[in-house]
Amino acid sequence: MSRLEKKTALVTGGARGIGLAIARAFREEGADVILTDVDAKNGQSSADEFGAIFRQLDVSSEADWQRVETEFPVLDVLVNNAGVTGFESSATGTPPAHDPEHASLADWRAVHAVNNDGTFLGCRYGIKAMRRNGCGSIINISSRSGLVGIPMAAAYAASKAAVRNHTKSVALYCASQDLAIRCNSIHPAAIMTPMWEPMLGEGPDRAEREAAMVADTPLRRFGTTEEVAALAVLLASDEATYITGAELSIDGGILAGSAATPGR
C-alpha cells in the first residue's frame, strides 16, 4: 500500500462522502493528505481519524484558496471533489425548484459558485502548485449529470458539464506548457453518500425509494465511496502517467446503454 508514497495530496469536500473515502485511501497508500472542507467540525474529526491535516476551505472563496496556496505552495495531487446539488438546505424545508423554467437566478448561481467556480479556482491553484515539480495529477469530480440532461437539477447538471469541459482545457493547457500535469474527470452516479439523504428521506418507504432510484442501474445497486476512491488512487498514482483529459464513468453501467436495459 504505497502507490502514493512521497506525494502530497489535497482533497476538497473531504469531511464526508466521496471526498472522505478518497482522503482515507490516499493516506492508506502513503500520501501526506490535506483534507479540506467548509465543515470544520466533521472535517477535523475525519482528518484526525487517519492522520491527515485539516484546513477549512470554502472552494468558492478566492481568499480561502490564497490562504491554502500560501501554506501549501507545492502539491502532487489535487482532488476537486466539493460539490452541491442545490437541494441541501432551504429555509422552508422544501427544496428549491431547480428545473429550467422555475429555478431562481440566485439558486442557479449558488450551485455554480461551488461546483464551477470552486473547480476553476482549485485547478488554477493546482497548476501553480504542481508547476514547481513540473508534474502532478488534478482530479475533478464531475458526475453522470455532467454528461446527460437532468431536468429537475438543471444547475447541477450544467455545472458538472462545465467541470468536464474545464478538465479538458486544463489537461491541454498543461500539455502545451510541457508540463506533466495531468487533469482528468471522474463521473460517478448513484454512490451512497449523505448527498442522497434529502432525496431518500426517512420512514418505511425509504428502502422502496432506494430500490426505485437504482432500478435503471444495470448493476442494480448503489456504488460505494470506496469504489470511487479506488479510481482516484489510480489517477493520482504514477500508474496513470499517460492518462490526461479523460472522463471516467463509475456508474454501475448506467451510461453503457439506454436507461431501460433489455432483458430485465
Ligand X SMILES: NC(=O)c1ccc[n+]([C@@H]2O[C@H](COP(=O)([O-])OP(=O)(O)OC[C@H]3O[C@@H](n4cnc5c(N)ncnc54)[C@H](O)[C@@H]3O)[C@@H](O)[C@H]2O)c1
Q: Which residues of the shown chain bind ligand X in the complex (CB under 6 A)?
A: 12-13, 15-19, 37-39, 57-60, 81-84, 114, 141, 143, 188-191, 193-195
Nearer to ligand X, 2 or 249 (CB): 249
Of 229, 107, 197, the C-alpha closest to 158 is 107
Query: How far is 195 from 45, CA to CA, in rounded Å?
Result: 19
Q: Which residues of 208-236 are buried (b: 16+ CB within 10 A; e: fewer)?
A: eebeeebebbbeeebbebeebbebbbbbb
Known catalytic residue at 125 = no
SS3 letters for 77-132? EEEECCCCCCCCCCCCCCCCCCCCCCCCHHHHHHHHHHHHHHHHHHHHHHHHHHHC
- How many Cα atoms within 13 Å fall on the side-chain side of residue 174? 30
Nearer to ligand X, 5 or 197 (CB): 197
Query: How far is 165 from 65, CA to CA, in rounded Å?
Result: 22
Nearer to ligand X, 96 or 188 (CB): 188
Residue 250 CB neighbours (<10 A): 19
Give Cα 182 to chain centroid, integer Å.
Answer: 16
Nearer to ligand X, 135 or 248 (CB): 248
Residue 255 burial class via C-beta count within 10 angstroms: exposed 0-12, middle 13-18, buried 19 and up: middle
Nearer to ligand X, 174 or 254 (CB): 254
Give the catalytic positions in this structure. Answer: 156
